[in-house]
Each structure stands twice: as structure tokens, then as C-alpha cells.
Amino acid sequence: MKRKTKIKVGVDSPSAAGAGTISKMLAKNYKLLYCDTGKIYRYMAKEIIDKKPRDQIKFLRVVSKKINLNKLKNKNLLTDDVAYIASKIAKNPNIRKLVVKYQKKLAYYPPKKYNGSILDGRDINSKIIKDADFKFYITAKVNERARRRYKELKKLRKKVKYTEILKNLKRRDFEDRSRRYSKLKKTKDSILINTTNLSIRESFLKVKKIMDQKLKDIWH
């Protein structure tokens, strides 16, 4: 049987637009390696909070070599204090270099059992996988994203206020779009998927339809 050509899928999105869930569904459907790249910074932030190193860069160089996808599944990475430290360290170009190296390794060299890779984050299509076979920009109105995040955190039994989440998301959006390095933006060749009025299933099927069309040629 002919081996399938490995594909690369890049997904950029603001926080809580549903990109992570949709990407996981696509990964399962097409047997792709999946990575939520924001979790890498969150993992590093959690390590800093727990270990309190004097020299953060030196410490994170060691940590970056020990990262694996299982470590990124830790539910404790979703807390606000972790997110705050993650956004601070993400601004450091030396730390970004460490993360970019790991992201590119996942994108371009997934294990043999996978048909390719799918990465979601803020700068995947503009920085990490510029030659991705599929590029998507998944978004939703900020009020809807805040409602989703509120629901998600409530399930984890976190004490949260919708107004606080909305305020944090607006601040995060501003930071993501205005930061100096690897800012969030839709590349010209990315396909826009607005999930505001779509269920996760509907959003997934919309993206799947687009991919299936092109995969007829790639995986014929």
C-alpha cells in the first residue's frame, strides 16, 4: 500500500474560539499529531511557579528539552496565574526561540504512525509552518468566547466571574495582536472560520469539508 504524504495543518486563533477542540477532532479524524502550542508556554510557566528558579532562561533551556505532549495535558495549566506568567515569558525572544524549535520539530517530523501534524496557536501560519498544506484562522466574537471559557472553568469547579473572564480575554486579545514578536494575525492565505454561531460539531464539519476537497489530490 502506498504511504500517504504527510500533511501539515496550521491553526491560528484568539483565546477560547474553539480552535483547540476543533483541532483535536481533526487530529483524530485524519490521524495527525496534535499540539496546542500555547500549552508549551503554560507548562514552562507552571514549572517557574513550582520551582522558582533564580535564572529563568537557564532553567527553561533544561525544561524545554524535557517537554513531551503528555506533560501538556495537565489540567492545572488552565489557571489564570499560569496564564499570566505564560504571557510574560512568551514575550521573551530567547524563550520563544526554545519553543519555536520544539514546535517545528513536531510540525515537520511527527512520528511515523501519524499522517502528519496539526498545531494550533497564535503564530502558526505566519511563523511556525509557513508552508502548511492547510491554514485556518478560527475566531468568534469576544462575548461568545468569554461565555465558553466561563462554562469550561465552571466544569472544573473554579470560582470565576463572567465579567472578569471577558475583561481578561479583551486584554489578552490586545496583547496577542500588539506584541512585538509573533503577534496574532490572519495570514492572507489562511481560511477564516467564524464559530460565533456554530456548534463545535458544525465548525469541525466546515473545516473537514474544506480539507477533504484538497486531500483528494494529496492522498489520491
Contact 25, 158 (CB under 8 A): no
**All residues at 6 or more sequence positions from 115 whose CB lies less than 8 Å from its CB, including other chains:** 4, 6, 7, 30, 31, 32
153 is written with which cell numbers? 472553568
CA-derived radius of gyration, the chain: 17
Supply the range of the domain harboring residue 169.
7-209
Closest listed residue to residue 168, CA positions, set 44, 80, 38 = 80
- Indicate whether 220 belongs to any domain: no
- Indicate whether 142 belongs to any domain: yes
Q: For position 99, which CATH number holds?
A: 3.40.50.300
Residue range 20-54, pLDDT digits in tens:
999 999 999 999 999 999 899 999 999 999 999 99
- Indicate whether 218 belongs to any domain: no
Q: What is the Cα–Cα distance from 208 to 74, expressed in whole angstroms?
A: 28
Query: 93-108 vs 56-66: helix axis angle to the nearest 10?
Result: 10
Contact 142, 169 (CB under 8 A): yes
- Indicate whether 1 belongs to any domain: no
Residue range 120-173, pLDDT digits in tens:
999 999 999 999 999 999 999 999 999 999 998 888 777 889 999 999 899 989
* pTM for the whole structure: 0.90
- Indicate whether 37 belongs to any domain: yes
- Average pLDDT of the residues of the chain: 92
- Indicate whether 216 belongs to any domain: no
- Indicate whether 20 belongs to any domain: yes
pLDDT for position 104: 95
Total of domains in the chain: 1
- Indicate whether 100 belongs to any domain: yes
**Within a 10 A sphere around the Cβ of 121, how many other Cβ atoms?**
26
